[in-house]
Chains A and B, each alone.
Chain A
């Protein structure tokens, strides 16, 4: 149990286009999902906190109009990178927290990540 999936796993796009990344909790309902970004050989940096049915909370320095987050259901959150540029190329990882037990309600379950390359 406690599986989180991301789609796509890898995407290459042209500069100026938009890319949508999906994060799904497959076998539990996620009341909260987090989006992290990881540049090569660096740590995970929190981008935003997403709660089902409400607006996402963005970390300082993360442009909410560029990184659109929608948490429309208890099992799905999406991150859309709008007008992507090469500097947005990164590994994007989501994590989810269960609202009920099982699985453990005090554990973040990470998705496998999406590698975005903007040409």
Chain B
């Protein structure tokens, strides 16, 4: 089955700096790669996703890149703000929506004002 590795497990950045979180996956058949932000005790919130036919996607301060050959994808947050502090999870699925998500272990991001 699919296995998703996520690094780093914790990340501290100064406000205004960029943050990068990286994930690798094992199943080359996976085609859907979402990123979730989870605050303590809350549900995961989808912040951006990418499908295998796209190499990069951007939404304001957030971008995701995908390298299917290397089987890795990354989350980039620019101009970080204290409210970006949370746990971020990457995930992979065979088909968007139709198949269960396999999550990475998460990255605890702290943005220091």
A residues with CB within 8 A of B: 32, 34, 42-46, 49, 91, 93, 95, 97, 104-108, 110-113, 115
B86: Cβ under 8 A from any A Cβ:
no
Find out whether the CB atom of B41 lies under 8 angstroms from the CB atom of A113. yes
Kindly state the separation between the CA atoms of A13 and B100 in the bound complex, as whole angstroms.
29
B104 surroundings in chain A (CB, below 8 A):
43
B102: Cβ under 8 A from any A Cβ:
yes
Nearest CB to that of B44 among chain A residues? A110
Looking at chain A's contact residues, the main secondary structure is strand
B61: Cβ under 8 A from any A Cβ:
no
Kindly state the separation between the CA atoms of A104 and B32 in the bound complex, as whole angstroms.
14
Find out whether the CB atom of A49 lies under 8 angstroms from the CB atom of B42. no
Looking at chain B's contact residues, the main secondary structure is loop
Kindly state the separation between the CA atoms of A104 and B46 in the bound complex, as whole angstroms.
13
Query: Given A93-B44, A113-B42, A113-B43 in contact, is the A34-B105 Cβ separation under 8 Å?
Result: no
B96: Cβ under 8 A from any A Cβ:
yes
* Number of residues of chain B lying within 8 A (CB) of chain A: 19
Report B64 CB to chain A, min CB distance, Å. Answer: 15
B residues with CB within 8 A of A: 32, 41-46, 89, 95-98, 100-106
Report A73 CB to chain B, min CB distance, Å. Answer: 20
Kindly state the separation between the CA atoms of A113 and B101 in the bound complex, as whole angstroms.
16
Kindly state the separation between the CA atoms of A104 and B103 in the bound complex, as whole angstroms.
21
**18 more A-B contacts (CB under 8 A) besides A45-B103, A113-B41?**
A34-B101, A42-B105, A42-B106, A43-B105, A44-B44, A44-B89, A49-B100, A91-B41, A93-B43, A93-B44, A95-B101, A97-B98, A104-B97, A106-B95, A107-B96, A107-B97, A108-B101, A112-B43
Kindly state the separation between the CA atoms of A111 and B44 in the bound complex, as whole angstroms.
9
Nearest CB to that of B101 among chain A residues? A108
Nearest CB to that of B90 among chain A residues? A43
